[in-house]
Structures are given as C-alpha cells and as structure tokens.
Amino acid sequence: MKAKVERVRIFDTTLRDGEQCPGASMTAREKLEIARQLARLGVDVIEAGFPVISQGDFDAVQTIAREVRGPIIAGLARCVPKDIEAAGLAVRPAGAKGRIHVFLATSKIHREFKLHKAQEEILRLAVEGVRLARQYTDDVEFSPEDASRTEPEFLLQVCRAVIEAGARTVNIPDTVGYATPDEFGTLIRYLRDNVPAFTSGEAIISVHCHNDLGLAVANSLAAVRNGARQVECTINGIGERAGNAALEEIVMILRTRRDLFGHVTTGIRTQEILKTSRLVSRLSGLLVQRNKAIVGENAFAHSSGIHQDGILKKRETYEIMDPREVGWGQSELPLTKHSGRHAVAVRLKQLGFRLSEKDINDIFERFKEIGDKKKFVYDDDLVSLVENHIAEVPLTWSLEYLGFSSGNRAIPTATVQLVRHGTKAGEREVRQEAGTGDGPVHAAIRAIDRIVGLSGQLVEYNLRAVSEGTDAMGEVTVKVRFDQGEPVVGRGASTDVVEASARAYLNAVNRYLYTRAATGRRTRARKDGEP
C-alpha cells in the first residue's frame, strides 16, 4: 500500500529574522514587494515582522496583512501583553489568515541568567501568552526559545501546556545553532511520540534552525524525517549571525531526494526561486556568494572539460537538478529604446510586478535613458530598474548632472549637480559642486557630501553587471555610515559605473535623511503626548 504523502509547510521569516542581519534593514515598500514575491513563490506562512519594536515594523506587517493574499501572515511577539496586542492589531487585516507567533525562552541558561525565573513561572507565562493571543486569532504559534538546549522533560511539559492553552503550532528553535542532526532529530521524535496532539494532527511541530555550525539545513531535514511538518527558513539563508536555514536548499533537497523524502512535499513553485533570491539580495544589500547552492552564479557552471563533455552527452552526469526547475535559463525577448510604454508595462506585469501608473511612468523614464545607451534592455535590466525604484525613499536630493575626468596621470575630478526637493509640491533648488579624490567615484562622493552637508563613511561597495556585454548595466550597492550610526544601504544602476555609484551613494543619503526625519517626528509626537 502506497504511503500517504504529507505536506511540509514552508514558513518564511526573511522579513523578520532575515532582516535582523546587520545592514539588511528594508523599507516598508521593499518588504511589501518581497512579500508579494514570496506569495508567488508559494510559501505557506510569511513572518512579516515584529510589530511592537517600531511603528515602521507595525506598519509594514499591517500593510502586508492587508495587501498580500495566499499565505498566512504572522507577526512575532514576546509573551508580553503589549507585544501580543501589537501583533494582533497588525495581522488583523489578514482575517483568518492572520497568525500571532509568541515566544519565550525555556532553556536553563536563559531562565537563570536572562529571565531569572523558575520553570513554573515560565509555564505560567507561556500559557497566559497563548491564551491572550487566542483572543485576537485562532491561529497561534508558540516557540520555546533555545529549545535545543532545554531539558527534554521540561520542553515536553511546555509543549503540552501551550497546546492545551490553544496553540496549534509549536516551533522548536535551535536558537544558537548548537544542535547536530542526530540529536535534533531524536528530540523531535521524542516530542512527537509523547505529545498526543502531535500524533493526532491537532497540532504540528515546526522547527527553526540557525546556522552557527553550518548545520541549519541538515538539522531541519533531520526534524522533517522525525515528524516536523513546518520548517522556518529564509531566502538565501540570511539572518542573525551566521544566518538561518536556506529555503531554497531545503525545498530542493526534498524535491531532488525523493528516495529519502518521498513521504513529504511542499507547495513551492520552484521556478520562482531564483527570482526571489535575487530580489531579496538586491533589496537587503546582502550579496549571494558565487558558490551558493541552488542560487549562486556558479551553482550550475561547469569549467572542467570532463564535466562539460559529460553535460553535453547527458545532463544528469554532473547535474542532479535541472537549472530550469529553479528559474535559471528562462527565455526572454529583449526590449529596445523603440519599445513603448505599453510594451514595458506588459513586460513588468509578466515579470510579476504590481505597480501603480506613477511607478510605471517613473520606470519608463529611466528605461528610455538606459535604452539610449545600449542596444537591448533585457529582463534583468528591467528588474534592476524596478528594484532600484522600489528601494527609493521620498527624495530630498536627486541627481541632475554628473561629469568627471580621470586618468593615470591626472587628478580625478567630478562635477555634480543635485536638485533639492522642498516640502511644497514642485519646489526645487539646484546646487552644484566639484570634488577631487582617489578616483572618479571618490571624487563624485566628495562633491555630493559638499552639497548635502554630510560626511558619509563608505564601509562597503559592491558592483555587479546586471546583464552581459560591454554595454551591460552596472548595479552598485553601498553601505554608508553617517554620524557613527548603523550603516545605511544605498543602490543605484546605470550603464556608467561612476553614475551608478553616485546614484547608490545618493540613495543612501536620502534614506538616512528620511529615517532621521521620521525618527524626529516620532520623538516630537511622544513629547506632545500623542499615541
């Protein structure tokens, strides 16, 4: 008799745990676009954020809950009433698809040194947290933080108690990436065999593994083999410290090794994996290493003559997956400068973007600029234009003109003309400065600093060619520190590398000024006694 195939839910926490990676902060617009792509990818749950930590996070979760259809939308909360209330209000627009994810540390080291609470108190707080969350939604998930270092007998008590209180998913986190596959699989089997709700299907076991020892994916798979039916993961494996289990790796292992995992399946549309990976990489500013499994540039590249010969004779000799399954090698018809606005709008829709008329008009203007500089505008070029548009914040400064001179026997010099946009509609002021530096990019940055009155410290600079050819569009990602604060990510694209660099730096400037102004508004509101 053929065994029943069970569904493994894919819980994506790119927008919550993934964003906690230093330097990966995203705007609400960027989070919304990633959430829409995650829905197209077919994830079961999107953990959209931690609503209580800031008004920005609350607004982002609420917007995703209102705008994105298909996946369950979850908000994270500690076992604290104000956290749970914020999460409940944020996910409310999702209706029956809203979930509150409550967590509380349970391990001995956390109880003694962080919480200063006994086991009995931890059990009481966990139960109270779940019961309060159930007042906002029927879909409550509970996580005993640092579960892999919690005494198994106490962890069993916690699972039983929170399920009785109303939790329908219990997540077992390997919070610090301490576990190994054998012991983590054994722990999941122990819980499954000793909690009746897990065996009856009344509640499901989830796992959330970190990659501190490089075992996040291996531990997640060991858990699936031993009864876990939800896996929490992120695109490209981004996340705190060494990151989380990589969604694309887990999904493709389950799909490729059906001899081991034929009893489970996921609802992921794998052809969307590469597109999702690139979107997250560009909007988070976290580049994907070339040799990254599934989505790295070298994942399906073969330079050895022996390998190339084998691939030509039969692909399966050196490829265990068809690259097209995950989105590589998709055919495209390039646009040209003669392509009209309607053709561009149709292509954007085909690529999966939902954009307003104003967005399309703005992107079309940049498309015409690029079309004048190169023969063909490929899908990757168009996607880059959209993603850079999404990354923009309300403009304080925009680039009007850039000119530069450089050479191995000349002092690199750049002249920059910026437009300062006022608070009144249509108000603008043009300013111009020149600067010198170690190269044209450095000179342009110095000129921008003189105009805007800031002195940014460039802490990271990355350049990639979006498409092929000598006229390829270059995409620059920078991280800039202003006033000794956290680095700000900026992005820019152009067929000219210096222009792309200047646009990326100016994007970081605008982000910093926008965030500083928003923080000032919230501070003044609190002083005035506003909610």
CATH of the domain at 434: 3.30.160.270
Q: What is the pLDDT of residues 188-220, one digit of tens each?
A: 999 999 999 999 999 999 999 999 999 999 999
Do 280 and 235 meet the contact criterion of CB atoms below 8 Å apart?
Answer: yes
Same domain, 167 and 215: yes
Q: Distances in Å between the alpha carbon of 258 and those of 254, 266, 525?
A: 6, 12, 56
Residue 63, domain member (yes or no): yes
* Confidence band of 277 (pLDDT split at 50, 70, 90): very high
pLDDT higher than threshold 80 for residue 332: no
| Confidence at residue 394, expressed as pLDDT on a 0 to 100 scale | 83
CA dist., res. 216 & res. 17, Å (int) = 14
Q: Choose one of 265, 284, 303: the last residue of a domain.
A: 284
Instruction: Assess whether 161 and 95 both reside in one domain.
Output: yes
Q: Are residues 349 and 475 in the same domain?
A: no
Cα 443 → chain centroid: 33
- 471: Cα separation from own chain's centroid: 30
Burial 229-266 (b: 16+ CB within 10 A, else e): bbbbbbbbbbbbeebbbbbbbbbbbbbeeeeebeebeb
The reply to whether 132 and 254 lie within a common domain is yes
Backbone phi and psi for residue 130, each to the nearest 5 degrees, phi listed first: -65, -45
Same domain assignment for residues 45 and 152: yes
DSSP lists the bridge partners of residue 266 as none
Classify strands 9-12 and 230-233 as parallel, antiparallel or unpaired. Answer: parallel
Is residue 243 domain-shared with residue 350, that is, in the same domain? no
Query: Nearest to residue 35, comparing CAs of 9, 57, 10, 15?
Result: 15
Say whether 378 sits in a helix, a strand or coil.
coil
pLDDT at 318: 55
Domain membership flag for residue 170: yes
Helix (H) or strand (E) holding 164: helix 152-165
Rounded Cα–Cα distance for residues 287 and 294 (Å): 14
User: How many domains does the chain fold into?
Assistant: 3
403 and 370 assigned to the same domain: no
Task: Please indicate, yes or no, whether residues 360 and 405 belong to a single structural domain of this protein.
Answer: no
The range of the structural domain enclosing residue 415 comes to 397-520
Tens digit of each residue's pLDDT (9 = 90 or more) over 483-501: 888 888 898 989 899 999 9
Half-sphere exposure of 99 (CA within 13 A, CB side): 24
Show Cβ contacts of residue 502 under 8 Å, excluding neighbours closer than 6 positions: 399, 402, 414, 416, 441, 444, 445, 448, 492
Domain-embedded: residue 387: no
365 vs 221 pLDDT, higher one:
221
In a domain, 121, yes or no: yes
Q: What is the pLDDT of residues 135-187, one digit of tens each?
A: 999 999 999 999 999 999 999 999 999 999 999 999 999 999 999 999 999 99
DSSP E strand stretches across 79-168: 98-105, 140-145
Residues 235 and 130 in one domain: yes
Clarify whether residues 349 and 404 are in a common domain. no
Confirm whether 77 is domain-assigned.
Answer: yes
Convert the pLDDT of each residue in 101-137 to its tens digit. Answer: 999 999 999 999 999 999 999 999 999 999 999 999 9
Decide if pLDDT at 302 tops 50. no
Residue 110 maps to a domain: yes
Q: What is the pLDDT of residues 12-37, one digit of tens each?
A: 999 999 988 766 778 889 999 999 99
Tell me the pLDDT of the chain averaged across its residues.
Answer: 90
End-of-domain residue from the set 267, 284, 301:
284
φ, ψ for residue 140, nearest 5 deg: -120, 130
Give the per-residue pLDDT at 529.
Answer: 38
Residue 304 within any structural domain of the chain: no
Instruction: Tell me the pLDDT band of 330, cut-offs 50, 70 and 90.
Output: low
Pair (366, 412) in one structural domain: no
pLDDT band of residue 312 (cuts 50, 70, 90) is: low
CA separation for the pair 411, 404 (Å, rounded): 10
Over the stretch 65-113, which tens digit does the pLDDT of each residue have?
999 999 999 999 999 999 999 999 999 999 999 999 999 999 999 999 9
Region of 116 (left: φ > 0; alpha: ψ -120 to 50; beta: rest) is: left
Q: Which CATH number do you get for residue 29?
A: 3.20.20.70
pTM over cut 0.85: no
Give the pLDDT band (50/70/90) at residue 315. Answer: low
Domain assignment of residue 474, yes or no: yes
Residues 164 and 254 in one domain: yes
